[in-house]
Structure 1
Amino acid sequence: MTTDNKSIVQRALAELIETGSTNALEPLLSDDFVHHRPDSTSSTKAEWLAAVHAALTPLAEMQVQVHHLLADGDHVVVHSRRQLPDAGPEIAVVDIWRLDNGLIAEGWEIIEPVAHAAANLAWWQPAESL
């Protein structure tokens, strides 16, 4: 099952990146799909697909480099770096996907601008010591 889940997520990402459309992604998401953000907000399948679709136009030329694609049971983790053309800002992204019955049922996403990574290494220190 782990290999199948990994293949489903890999296919979803490839189709999204290659086509620049959410049309191929939509049937791979369960009807009750939920996407979670670090700020504790979440979105439904329709809301998340609309947000991804809206981002695709300005990000159509974004370069995506997948560094890790790991699967464990019903979870698949993707670590990637993404950069806008013309040396635009680069971000590091970790997506965690939970699959159920061959469909992506939940997603979590963490995005960090690569330029801010060094500053985030000291997040536990009081602000006055930084």
Structure 2
Amino acid sequence: MTTENKIIVQRALAGLIETGDVDGLARVLSDDFVHHRPGAITSTKGEWLAAVRAALVSLAGMQVEIHQILSDGDHVIVYSRRWLPDGGPEIAVVDIWRIDDGLIAEGWEIIEPVAQVAANLVWWEPARR
């Protein structure tokens, strides 16, 4: 099952990344899909798809490089780097997708700006004065 789950996620992301096909993505999300972000921010399927559509306008030309796709049971984990054209900011992203009955039922996303990586490696240290 893990191979099939990876294929579901790979196809959904490829369509979105290559063509901006949000409707294609919508077809592989369950009706009760929930998307989670840090800080207890959750979105319904409709809310998340609307946010994806709006972001695509602002992120035109964004490049995505997928480094890892791992699967374990009903979860698929994707590590990618994304950047804007012309030297725009770069982010590292970890997405975790839960698959249920052949559809993406839940997603978690953690984004780290690459420019902040060094500071985030020592986040527990007090700020220097």
Provide the TM-score with structure 2 as the length reference: 0.97
- Deviation track 1:24-47 (CA, whole Å, cap 9, x = no partner) reads 100100000000010111000000
Partner of 1:31: 31
Percentage of pairs with the same residue: 72
Contact (CA 8 Å) 1:96, 1:107: kept in 2 or not? yes
Name the count of aligned residue pairs. 129
- Alpha-carbon distance in structure 2 between the residues aligned to 1:38 and 1:101: 26
- Deviation track 1:61-119 (CA, whole Å, cap 9, x = no partner) reads 00000000000000000000000000100000000000000000000000000000000
Contact (CA 8 Å) 1:93, 1:111: kept in 2 or not? yes
Q: Which amino acid aligns with 1:29?
A: L
Runs of 5+ in structure 1 lacking a partner?
none
Q: Which amino acid aligns with 1:44?
A: T
In the alignment, is residue 81 of structure 1 matched against residue 81 of structure 2?
A: yes
Partner of 1:15: 15
- Alpha-carbon distance in structure 2 between the residues aligned to 1:123 and 1:105: 32
